[in-house]
């Protein structure tokens, strides 16, 4: 078995990049469809509870059905039009082959981001089980970042499996001590929960959503409680900088709700990879 793994090691970097590109294409589907699926589910549940009949029986949308199509003309995307990055740049040239309408640059950018993140993880962790686990975490965080940026939602369908996967992975493989993972999950949730209620008691407003609690809990389950201060610090600083820049460049009201999940996800990803170095640097400044 070890000989077989050794034979695979020279090709694992390009394999990770290609695999991440393909996953990035799927992440585009998840980012677009999962919020729609959630809202459709809430609408159907509400109608059922209220005893109301759906006015239109829309076909059930899933991550696999129906096939991807152009929102403007309904043209079904052919397989060769769905090759990550290449199809957009060389085949379609940024336009639908059916109606010539413009296709958002966001799709190849997410595919490229996923490949870059995958390559970073593969280079840092090497050909290890930790690398595979961190790829899984990274893909999930990319989805959460873009869904929260678009809809201010952090779906339980992603945050809760991410949380329990972190506990299970550390129980089986011991990336960090299991007690640190469990305490990290608990403190991750409770810390933001307390901030939420203190802010609400003082202002009468809700400063963040419960999805943020669950995301920080999941990050604590993967990285342990020692990563939590760094995650909170980095995400808070990044959020403040972004809010000030947005207010300056776009003249936005600073009181307008802003998704916090993307900053938590980015900070969590940084701490899961370079947490020891960041903690050492931070402690060197205050000691």
The whole-angstrom separation of Cα 116 and Cα 119 is 5
Domain extent at residue 269: 129-287
Provide the whole-model pTM. 0.91
Q: Are residues 60 and 136 in the same domain?
A: no
- pLDDT higher than 50, residue 74: yes
Percent of the chain with pLDDT strictly greater than 70:
93
Q: How confident is the model over 199-215, as a mean pLDDT?
A: 86
Do 146 and 164 reside in the same domain of the chain? yes
The number of angstroms, rounded, from the C-alpha of 207 to the middle of its chain's C-alpha atoms is: 21
Residues 58 and 82 in one domain: yes
Are both 173 and 113 inside the same structural domain? Answer: no
Give the pLDDT score at 252: 62
Among 104, 127, 150, residue at a domain's last position: 127
pLDDT in the model for residue 9: 67
**Start-to-end C-alpha separation, the chain:** 48
Interval 128-157: pLDDT, tens: 999 999 999 999 999 999 999 999 999 999
Q: Are residues 139 and 117 in the same domain?
A: no
Residue entry with tokens 């369908």: 157
Confidence tier at 21 by pLDDT (50, 70, 90): very high
On whether both 170 and 144 belong to a single domain, the answer is yes
Mean pLDDT of 232-245: 91
104 Rama sector, left if φ>0, alpha if ψ -120 to 50, beta otherwise: beta
Which positions ≥6 away from 232 have C-beta within 8 Å? 191, 216, 267
Distance CA 5, CA 11 (A): 11
DSSP, collapsed to helix, strand or coil, labels residue 76 as: strand
Q: Give CA–CA dist 113/118, Å, rounded.
A: 8
Place of tokens 């469990």: 182
**Shortest CA distance to 153 belongs to which of 276, 230, 38, 267?**
38
Alpha-carbon distances of 32 from 44, 110, 151, 203, 239, rounded to whole Å = 19, 12, 10, 34, 24
- Residues 86/22, Cβ–Cβ less than 8 Å: no
**Are residue 147 and residue 194 in the same domain, yes or no?**
yes
Q: Spell out the residues 6+ positions from residue 121 whose beta carbon is closer than 8 angstroms to its own.
A: 16, 131, 134, 135, 138, 273
Same domain, 95 and 158: no
pLDDT of residue 2: 46
Coil, helix or strand for 102?
Answer: strand
Share of the chain above pLDDT 90, in %: 56
- Residues 113 and 229: beta-carbon distance below 8 Å: no
């Amino acid at each position: 078995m070890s000989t077989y793994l050794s034979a695979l090691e020279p090709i694992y970097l390009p394999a990770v990049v290609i695999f991440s590109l393909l996953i990035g294409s799927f992440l585009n589907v998840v980012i677009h469809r999962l919020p729609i699926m959630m809202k459709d589910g809430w609408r159907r549940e509400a109608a059922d509870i209220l005893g109301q009949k759906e006015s239109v029986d829309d076909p059930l949308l899933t991550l696999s059905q129906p096939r991807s199509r152009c929102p403007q003309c309904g043209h079904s995307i052919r397989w060769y039009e769905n090759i990550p990055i290449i199809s957009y740049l060389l085949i379609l040239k940024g336009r639908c082959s059916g109606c010539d309408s413009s296709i958002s640059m966001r799709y190849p950018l997410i595919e490229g981001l996923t490949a870059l993140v995958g390559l970073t993880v593969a280079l840092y962790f090497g050909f290890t089980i930790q690398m595979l686990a961190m790829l899984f975490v990274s893909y999930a965080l990319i989805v959460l970042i873009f869904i929260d940026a678009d809809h201010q939602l952090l779906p339980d369908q992603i945050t809760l499996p991410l949380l329990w996967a972190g506990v299970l992975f550390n129980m089986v493989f011991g990336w960090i001590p299991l007690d640190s993972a469990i305490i990290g999950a608990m403190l991750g949730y409770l810390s933001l929960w307390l901030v939420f209620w203190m802010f609400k008691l003082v202002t009468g407003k809700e400063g963040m959503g419960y999805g943020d609690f669950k995301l920080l809990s999941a990050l604590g389950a993967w990285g342990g409680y020692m990563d939590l201060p760094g995650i909170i610090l980095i995400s808070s600083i990044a959020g403040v900088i972004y809010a000030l820049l947005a207010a300056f460049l776009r003249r936005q009201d600073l009181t307008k709700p802003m998704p916090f999940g993307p900053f938590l996800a980015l900070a969590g990803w940084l701490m899961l990879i370079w947490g020891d170095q960041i903690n050492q640097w931070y402690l060197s400044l205050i000691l």
